Amino acid sequence: MDTASLWQAVLGEIELGVSNGNFVTWFKNTRLLKIQDGCVQIGAPNVFIKQQLEKRFNDLIAETLTKNDVAYTTIEYKILPTSSLNSRRVKDEPVVLQNQTAQPVKVTNRPTAPTSANSLTHSYRQGLNERYNFDNFIVGGGSELAYAACQAIAQNPGTKYNPLFLYGGVGIGKTHLIQAAGNGIIAKNPGASVVYVSSEQFIQEFLDAIRFKKNTDFAAVYRSADVLIIDDIQFIAGKEKTQDELFHTFNALHQANKQIIITSDRQPKDIPTLTDRLRSRFEWGMAIDMQAPDFETRCAIIQSKAETHNLSLTPTVVEHLANYVQNNIRELEGALNQLIAFCEMRNVDPTLEVAVALLGNTKARPKHLSAKQIIERTARHFQISVDELLGPKRDKEIVVPRQIAMYMLRSELHLSFPKIARELGRKDHTTAIHSVEKIEKEKAFDNEVRVAIADIKERLYA
């Protein structure tokens, strides 16, 4: 039996005989160095442990060795060099004074990071999915600018648009774009360390770091990144300590001209309880509003997705799908996948009839909604009462919700203008026309209105 497995057997037996605390403290990091001429040599990590083994556990060790058929006359204890015990430590690296690049926390030795990262939960590139690249991103009107910015970053990370802040609703391709940027950087420079995390993961790791006292590891991983990508930053709202940590990480990276890319579902100034200093930093580089794809882009997305599945769709089916889901590419893909799966299983062609039968008619969709529901939901969203909404008051806080309600009645239920006016207790249908037009216009540039409409819709169909 070699010394390692013999010692394992001995330790296994000792572990049963002493308390866990004793075992972990005194025995865990010991080694059996050699057995020679009747002398057993045992290595201990430090002088305290060596003395304890000599004075208190010598008999126990002797007894256990005998049980394992080891013939010996003496036991000797030696102190192991530190480096042989702890692989986390950086070995044999010459220590020289070094100029700092302007940040006090510079981690000088990259090799520590990947190993120490094991104690955190991800390695360098985890989170980056190679499936996402620029080639399979379909650029539409709402995402042109974001696409161009991400491509510029992939070419020259850290020089332009730093930080890049992308915001927009769910399922419009934010994650795809930033992952493509990350993959693009790695493709161009395979040595780059690209760290991609969701803010939820960042928070979790920060908590773990506090809990297991690994703050330096945590800082080492994030502050040594060449590119830091954080997805869905809005979840950091209200987490003050994490915001602090992010703030310092942000500064360290930005000072060193490392690229930072962040996404959120809304603008930095709309994220509640985000500290001002983070907010101002997010707004520092370039903030780009990504908007839902237009009809043509949706059609292009469907066609390209269908091609990857080797399926050809007729233009009418594509148009039906593009009309069926209007705001969310993820849902769009879902609908397409549903159609593909259905056709494969039933072995039928994806015709318009099949699509309509499977997904239902777009126009048929909001049938279960009533005007009353829309009005109530809108009122509740703005935290005013239905009576106020329907009443005569013309304060701004009530007028805007009233106009949004009219817009919703028009866009969701396709009601006539006179009917809309009646639903809201107005006599004149021109009020309704004006309101709907106004909201349609505002929707194009006022994010607040857009968010409100999306939110109300989401709740209506939930």
Partner 1 sequence: MKLQVTQENLNRALNNVARVASTKNALPILSNVLIKTIDNRVCIAATNLNIAITHYIGSKVSEEGSITVPARLMQDFVASLPSGIIDIKVDDTKLRIKADKYNSTINGTVADDYPVMPQINNGSTWNVPAAELKKALQQVILAASNDDARPILTGIFFHTHEGHLYIAATDSYRLAEKRIMPLAQEVKLLLPASAMQDLLRIIGDADEEIVVTHDDQQVLFTVGDVELVTRLIDGVYPDYRKLIPTSFSTAAVLPKAELVNITKVSSLFARESAGSVTLDLDEDEKQISIRSIASQLGENTATASAKVTGTASITLNSRFILDGLGVINDSEVSVAFNGKLEPCVIKGVEDKDYIHLIMPLKS
Query: One-letter amino acid identity for 115?
Result: T
Note whether 83 binds partner 1 by CB under 8 A: yes
Q: Which two tokens stand for residue 125?
A: 């590139």
Residue 116 or 338: the one with the smaller Cβ distance to partner 1 is 116
Closer by beta carbon to partner 1, 222 or else 324: 222
Interface with partner 1, residue 25, by CB under 8 A: yes
Task: Name the minimum Å distance from CB 334 to partner 1.
Answer: 44
- Buried/exposed 152-177: b ≥16 CB within 10 Å, e otherwise: bbbeebbeebbbbbbbbbbbbbbbbb
**From candidates 20, 73, 87, 310, binder to partner 1 by CB under 8 A:** 20
- Residue 194 CA, distance from chain mean position: 14
Q: Is the peptide bond before 163 cis (omega within 30 degrees of 0)?
A: yes
Judged by CB under 8 A, how many residues of this single chain contact partner 1? 43
The whole-angstrom separation of Cα 7 and Cα 32 is 6
Q: Which stretch binds partner 1 (CB under 8 A): 97-105, 315-323, 392-400, 428-436?
A: 97-105
Interacting residue with partner 1 among 3, 29, 41, 52 (CB under 8 A): 52
Which residues in 193-232 contact partner 1 (CB under 8 A)?
A: 216, 220
Applying CB under 8 A, which of residues 94, 190, 191, 272 lies at the interface with partner 1? 94
Closest CA to 116 of 223, 246, 249: 223
**Could you tell me the smallest distance in angstroms from the CB atom of residue 91 to partner 1?**
9
Window 112-131: residues binding partner 1 (CB under 8 A)? 112, 116
- Rounded to the nearest angstrom, the gap between the alpha carbon of residue 377 and the centroid of all alpha carbons in its chain is 31
Q: Can residue 103 be called a binding residue for partner 1 (CB under 8 A)?
A: yes
Answer yes or no whether residue 234 interacts with partner 1 by CB under 8 A: no
What are the backbone dihedrals phi and psi of residue 157, each rounded to the nearest 5 degrees, phi first?
Answer: -60, 140
Q: Using DSSP, state whether 459 is helix, strand or coil.
A: helix
- How far apart CA 343 and CA 338 sit, in angstroms, is 9
What distance in Å separates the CA atoms of residue 75 and residue 44, rounded to the nearest whole number?
13
Touching partner 1, residues 350-369 (CB under 8 A) = none
DSSP state, 137? P
CB-based burial label for 181 (10 Å; 0-12, 13-18, 19+): buried
Is there binding between residue 87 and partner 1 (CB under 8 A)? no
* Footprint (CB under 8 A) of partner 1, residues 247-266: 251-252, 255
Of 66-74, 92-100, 290-298, 378-386, the segment contacting partner 1 by CB under 8 A is: 92-100
Residue 104 touches partner 1, criterion: CB under 8 A: yes
Helices 215-223 & 199-211 angle (0-180, nearest 10)? 150
Nearest distance in Å: CB 62, partner 1 = 18
**Site residues for partner 1 per CB under 8 A:** 20-22, 24-26, 46-49, 51-52, 55-56, 79, 81-83, 88-90, 93-104, 108-109, 112, 116, 216, 220, 251-252, 255, 280
